[in-house]
Homo-oligomer: A and B are copies of this chain.
Amino acid sequence: MAVRRRSRPDATRRSESSRRAILTAAFELVGEVGYPRLSIEGIAARAGVGKQTIYRWWPSKGAVLFDSFLMLSEGTEEGIGKGSLPDTGDLGADLRSVLHATVGELNDPRYDGPMRALTIEIANDPELAALYAERLEEPLRAMKRERLRSAQRAGQLPSDLDLDTAIDLIWAPLFQRWLKRVEPVTLDYADRVAETALRALGATGIGHPRT
């Protein structure tokens, strides 16, 4: 017989409407007031929910934020892990188009706030970081890995290339520039990163942006 000292919340009785209201409110609020002024009280008030309902189901403010991202991505057909990167045969062009989309998101004020907040929570909470890596980062990375592998098969990339390092080389510069606001993240910068990285990776026979 299983013994439970302290009764855990009974997920079967969970209110789905409250859950959605909380996640929506969290996402909206962090976009409006920014991370430092985001509060559990504020989320609860905006969602029309008791604070306890948040504390009952999430261990931290970061976990709420994380779930609000998950909800968002699940609602999209372009969502996390649901699709694949474009593969026209032209690695350079495909990469540029994907990076342009990324640049667009990074510059969209609706995403900038929430993404900064989540990044910060992740930077502070190893547990959340692991969850993030597994549920959000890895599915995306798998899509990227697959596209590069396809390029390897087409002979456009060396077959002995370390794909994970390659992915980091391409995407990390964008995120760093965005996070630290050194300079604005422009389409031009994305192109430069893509081109330089591909050269570095030993790509051959790939298209180059029109200059």
User: Residue of B at shortest CB range from A170?
Assistant: B169
Judged by a CB distance under 8 angstroms, whether A21 is at the interface is no
Task: Tell me, in angstroms, the Cα distance from A126 to B199 when the chains sit together.
Answer: 33
Beta-carbon contacts under 8 Å, A145-182 to B: 161-162, 165-166, 168-169, 171-173, 175-177, 179-182
Q: Is the CB of B162 within 8 A of A172?
A: no
Q: Is the CB of A197 within 8 A of B180?
A: no
Judged by a CB distance under 8 angstroms, whether A91 is at the interface is no
Most interface-central of A137, A177, A199 (chain B CB within 10 A):
A199
Q: Of the listed stretches A75-83, A92-100, A103-111, A117-125, name the one at the interface; the rest are far from the partner chain.
A: A117-125
Which of B34, B119, B197 lies in contact with A169, CB distance below 8 A? B197
Task: Tell me, in angstroms, the Cα distance from A129 to B176 when the chains sit together.
Answer: 12
Q: Is the CB of B181 within 8 A of A129?
A: yes
Chain A at the B interface: SS class = helix
CB distance from A56 to the nearest CB of B (A): 16
Judged by a CB distance under 8 angstroms, whether A193 is at the interface is yes
User: Residue of B at shortest CB range from A137?
Assistant: B182
Judged by a CB distance under 8 angstroms, whether A57 is at the interface is no
Give chain B residues whose Cβ lies under 8 Å from the Cβ of A176: 168, 171-172, 175-176
Beta-carbon contacts under 8 Å, A36-80 to B: 36
Give chain B residues whose Cβ lies under 8 Å from the Cβ of A189: 165
Q: Is the CB of B200 within 8 A of A34?
A: no
Q: A175-B176, A201-B196, A201-B199 are in contact. Are A120 and B126 (CB under 8 A)?
A: no
CB-CB contacts of A116-144 with B at 8 A, as 1s and 0s?
A: 10011011101001101100010000000
